[in-house]
Amino acid sequence: MLSDSQISSLKWTIKKPHVNSTCIWCSACTAISGDVFEFDDDGLSCVKSLANYENRDVDDSIAACPVNAISWQEADETGKYKNGVVEHRDV
């Protein structure tokens, strides 16, 4: 049986795209899913903070990324990645 904290953790898990350090700033993802991806000051694609990422063509961006830098990861209700995942680190 799951504890209350485990149930709460599962309840607040969202799927969030993640960009790792292999990004070569080709602009494919920002062109396809401009409401999800943007470039940071270092020129790497990063993920905007949104309540959810459904129906925003993220799968098309994943398919179009030439270096497979984008993947789906789990995040909590604040948008923070779970499982030790950190933005722009390989997972």
Cα(14)–Cα(66) distance, integer angstroms: 25
Total binding residues toward ligand SF4, as defined by CB under 6 A: 15
Cβ 63 to ligand SF4 shortest distance, Å: 10
Q: Is residue 47 a contact partner of residue 18, using CB atoms and an 8 Å limit?
A: yes
Cβ 30 to ligand SF4 shortest distance, Å: 6
Mark residues 37-76: x for contact with ligand SF4 by CB under 6 A, - for none: --------x------------------xxxx-xx------
Cα(33)–Cα(31) distance, integer angstroms: 6
CB nearer ligand SF4, residue 65 or residue 75: 65
Cα(45)–Cα(57) distance, integer angstroms: 15
Phi, psi angle pair for 51, to nearest 5°: -70, -30
In the complex, the residues that contact ligand SF4 under the rule CB under 6 A are 19, 23-29, 45, 64-67, 69-70
